[in-house]
Structure 1
Amino acid sequence: MNVLEQQGVILPNTDIEVSPITYGAFAIGGWFWGGASKADGLEAIDTAIANGITTIDTAPIYGMGASESIVGEAIQGKRHQVQILTKFGMRWDLAKGDFFIDSEQNDGTPVKIYKYNGRDSIIAECEASLRRLNTDYIDLYQMHWPESVTPMDEILEALSELKQAGKIRAAGLCNSGVDLLKADTNGVIATNQVAYSMVNRSIEDELVPYCKDHQVGILAHTILHKGLLTGKIRPGHQFGEGDHRANNPMFKAGNHEKIVGFLDALHPLKEKWNCTLSQLVINWTIQQPGITSVLVGARDKHQMKDNARALEFKLDAEDIELIDGLLDGLKLEL
């Protein structure tokens, strides 16, 4: 029996039930991850749905439309079974707002990416996402990043307009602090999607208490810390061309060795539950206070099956106390 799968969660102030694990469709878009196989992505999504992971998170910027298109193809005939989460506000085709980064499309074409959340852009992006996803509604539509040029009131009004039109069922933020949540005086925002992992727990100080007190769901992304917490990437690993993890401070000498030592200390729990490190980490994260659902990516069906097994057991209080004690002793240089 999938123990944690039975604990589907309703997003605050909505009637949308999401699975404890959300399939993160970033990597299957190819961009930022050194390429990807469409066929593998389609199989990964099929496998996720078959294993009770019915919530799928994507974004236009993930492969400049590639990830959304793959998701749209994968859910045909299954739309009633899934919850589609996508985003707006990362433009590679419009030079407006805050410049983000120089990058390139999957075919190598150079692009400049901007963060822009203006009303007209939100409306246009929503229509483009609906086309790529081949659906007439989005379950949760999220602002990908805050920026400095658009008033929050304008963003909230655009989201309310889309909800009233039936284009979206609910609205959320991503990568946002408490200040933006406080600006939402009418309860438009149901969720905030933020980075959170065993080695990145900064949201516990202010954001988690605020969201718990004000009924805002937290969708945790980067919970395996870009593959680091799987234990499969050992010190000295050489990343391929185009893989952004090569410059991540957690993969630098010193931090990487300390994290691997921490992971090795979890071996008794792996044996106790007959699970992998990834499954153990996912299970721990699902159980953290304030967390509504955790995003986990998978490039293919095999990774997806491996991730889904994290729903088949539940770490007990003693296990979590042991893990937290080890984390308290993990001192990293950031």
Structure 2
Amino acid sequence: MQFRTLGDSGLRISVIGLGTWAIGGGDWKFGWGDQDDSEAIAAIVRAVELGINWIDTAAIYGEGRSEILVAKAMEQIPVASRPLIATKCGRVALGDGEIGKCLRRDSVIRECEASLKRLNTDCIDLYQMHWPEPDEEIEEGWQTLVDLKAQGKVRHIGVSNHSVSQLQRLQAIHPVTSLQPPYSMIAREVEAEILPYCGQQNIGVICYSPMGKGLLTGTFTAARAAA
């Protein structure tokens, strides 16, 4: 396995990580269908055995289910071999199947505390704002992440799906350790501005959906894609 340093964090992370969107199951708005919890846990354990040293999740994945499964997988991995855990805030389950968007301070703090509990940890390795929405709240949300870092509840802070102009607004408050953009052979928009900017600013880039949500795996038939 190859490793690279993530932005200004000093963290050496494997060039391949494991995302956990799908293991949240199908009982929420953006679910990928039913999942077997034991298979999900086994997949995480096996990924670590093969050299992956970071797991990416989010509070909204399965409305907390993914984080819980990640924590259960950690119980099966020796402490010295446990991977770094990255999770996200800013998408909030409203209780009626709908998903809200909120980066207000009180909401972000509640999300962080809930994630710490579900992940069974006292500090999150990388805490990220999931989306820059609402746009007018990104500075408040980012300052809250800065404060959570100062309190020792998170080690490093980053964002996902932000534009260059939004990154610049956040950088004026505190350096951004990492950005998660979608990037694959069929989604290359970030090459124009975002990747060059991140390179100049030493912002680590963690690409998500590198296989185009499965379209690049070679397993999709026309019928499956249509479904």
Calculate the TM-score normalised by the size of structure 1.
0.63
Listed as ranges, the matches of 1:94-173 within 5 Å are: 110-148=96-134, 150-173=136-159
Q: Take 2:198 and 2:8, find their aligned partners in 1: how far apart are those partners?
A: 13
The worse-fitting range, judged by mean Cα deviation, of 53-62 and 143-152 is: 143-152
**1:86–1:138 Cα contact (<8 Å) kept:** yes
Q: Using the TM superposition, give the Cα deviation of residue 146 of structure 1 relative to its aligned residue in structure 2, in angstroms.
A: 1.0
Calculate the TM-score normalised by the size of structure 2.
0.92
**2:129–2:142 Cα contact (<8 Å) kept:** no
| Equivalent AA in structure 2 for residue 86 of structure 1 | T
- Deviations along 1:143-165, one digit per CA (max 9) or x if unpaired, are 01111364333122211111111
- Deviations along 1:241-274, one digit per CA (max 9) or x if unpaired, are xxxxx4xxxxxxxxxxxxxxxxxxxxxxxxxxxx
Match of 2:89 in 1: 88
Q: Using the TM superposition, give the Cα deviation of residue 79 of structure 1 relative to its aligned residue in structure 2, in angstroms.
A: 4.8
Instruction: Mark the runs of 5 or more structure 2 residues left unpaired by the alignment.
Output: none
**1:13–1:190 Cα contact (<8 Å) kept:** yes
Q: Take 2:78 and 2:133, find their aligned partners in 1: how far apart are those partners?
A: 35
Larger of the two Rg values belongs to structure: 1
**1:22–1:53 Cα contact (<8 Å) kept:** yes
Match of 2:223 in 1: 236
| Equivalent AA in structure 1 for residue 53 of structure 2 | T
| Equivalent AA in structure 1 for residue 194 of structure 2 | L
Q: Using the TM superposition, give the Cα deviation of residue 65 of structure 1 relative to its aligned residue in structure 2, in angstroms.
A: 0.7
**2:7–2:178 Cα contact (<8 Å) kept:** yes
Q: Take 2:85 and 2:123, find their aligned partners in 1: how far apart are those partners?
A: 9
Match of 1:298 in 2: none
Q: Take 1:174 and 1:37, find their aligned partners in 2: how far apart are those partners?
A: 27
**1:193–1:221 Cα contact (<8 Å) kept:** yes
| Equivalent AA in structure 1 for residue 113 of structure 2 | E
Instruction: Mark the runs of 5 or more structure 1 residues left unpaired by the alignment.
Output: 95-109, 240-245, 247-334
Give the length in aligned residue pairs. Answer: 220
| Equivalent AA in structure 2 for residue 84 of structure 1 | I
In structure 1, which of residues 8, 16, 23 is the aligned counterpart of residue 3 of structure 2? 8
- Considering only aligned residues, what root-mean-square deviation do their CA atoms show, in Å? 1.6
Q: Take 1:223 and 1:156, find their aligned partners in 2: how far apart are those partners?
A: 26
Secondary structure at the counterpart of residue 180 of structure 2:
strand
Q: Take 2:131 and 2:9, find their aligned partners in 1: how far apart are those partners?
A: 22
Listed as ranges, the matches of 1:40-119 within 5 Å are: 40-76=39-75, 78-80=78-80, 81-93=82-94, 110-119=96-105
Q: Take 1:207 and 1:48, find their aligned partners in 2: how far apart are those partners?
A: 29
- Deviations along 1:196-227, one digit per CA (max 9) or x if unpaired, are 10011000000011000111111101111111
Larger relative contact order (Cα-Cα within 8 Å, sequence gap ≥ 6) = 1
| Equivalent AA in structure 2 for residue 88 of structure 1 | C
